[in-house]
């Protein structure tokens, strides 16, 4: 079966409607958007964080590659 994902909405729909592990979800996000999670979390949390990330950065070429990661320098 071939799956065609043309839009961000298609990607989110595919992630929500298929029985995927967290690793599979992360792998698909990485292939589709070249960004990923560095921690292990439930698929639903990944999708919600992905939507927030996408709404903030969209198609910009210089978006963070790590989703939902605070890397601010703390003193």
- 4-58 pLDDT, tens per residue? 899 999 999 999 999 999 999 999 999 988 888 988 899 999 999 999 999 998 8
Conformational region of residue 73, where left means phi above 0, alpha means psi within -120 to 50, and beta covers everything else = beta
* Full-model pTM: 0.81
Q: Which among 50, 75, 74 is positioned nearest to 64, based on CA atoms?
A: 50
Residue 75 has which token pair?
């003193």
């Amino acid at each position: 079966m071939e799956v065609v994902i043309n839009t961000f909405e298609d990607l989110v729909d595919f992630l929500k409607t298929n029985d995927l592990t967290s690793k599979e979800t992360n792998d698909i996000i990485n292939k589709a958007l070249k960004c990923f999670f560095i921690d292990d979390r439930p698929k639903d949390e990944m999708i919600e964080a992905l939507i927030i990330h996408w709404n903030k950065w969209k198609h910009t070429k210089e978006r963070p590659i790590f989703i939902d990661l605070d890397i601010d320098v703390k003193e």
